[in-house]
Amino acid sequence: MNKTTTGDADPVVAPAGAAPADGKGPAMSSERLAQFEDEVAKLKVTGGGVNPERLGAKWGIGLTIVGFVVAVIAWFSANGAGNMADINRSQIWAVIGVGISIVGIAMWVRNSITRYLRYWIIRLVYEQREQTEAIVKALKEK
């Protein structure tokens, strides 16, 4: 994967197989690459807590940790319990903790790939435009 920065604190990851951001590749010409980078910069994707994907990923990590802690505490509670009522309550809390962890993992996965996919689709559109222009130019020359 190639990394290119768009003025953010975080690098934007280019799709696998894409041309390097320095224009040394067959995928995009330097003029088209400059236009592409300008369009990415206009997206105003900022770092920090304002970014909903980053915030969602942090919440996902937090929920995963909280769910894991709840499940571990419930396991220790059931391990030291003497009657079945306490064990059943601990099992319920353990299942709740595992559920919270699963929701946290799903949130993290969803939010962590969103930025990559946004960059990928924009790059794909620009590469398609350039290929179309090359085909049109070749047809006009014939």
What residue spans define the domains of the chain? Answer: 51-141
Task: Select from 14, 17, 16, 47 the least CA-distant residue to 33.
Answer: 14
pLDDT band at 101 (very low <50, low <70, confident <90, very high): very high
Which pLDDT score is estimated for 1? 43
- Does the pLDDT of residue 6 top 70, yes or no? no
- CA diameter of the chain: 88
Tens digit of each residue's pLDDT (9 = 90 or more) over 32-72: 778 777 877 777 665 555 578 888 889 999 999 999 999 99
Which pLDDT score is estimated for 67? 96
Rounded distance between C-alpha atoms, residue 129 and residue 36, angstroms: 11
- Show the tokens assigned to 17: 């197989």
Q: Between helices 52-79 and 84-141, what is the axis angle to 10°?
A: 150
What rounded mean pLDDT belongs to the chain?
79
Highest mean pLDDT among 11-20, 26-35, 104-113: 104-113
Rounded distance between C-alpha atoms, residue 45 and residue 41, angstroms: 8
Mean pLDDT of 113-129: 86
Which pLDDT score is estimated for 69? 96
- Where do we find the tokens 């799709």? 15
Q: What is the pTM of this model?
A: 0.56
Q: How many CB atoms lie within 10 A of CB 117?
A: 10
More confident residue, 28 or 125: 125
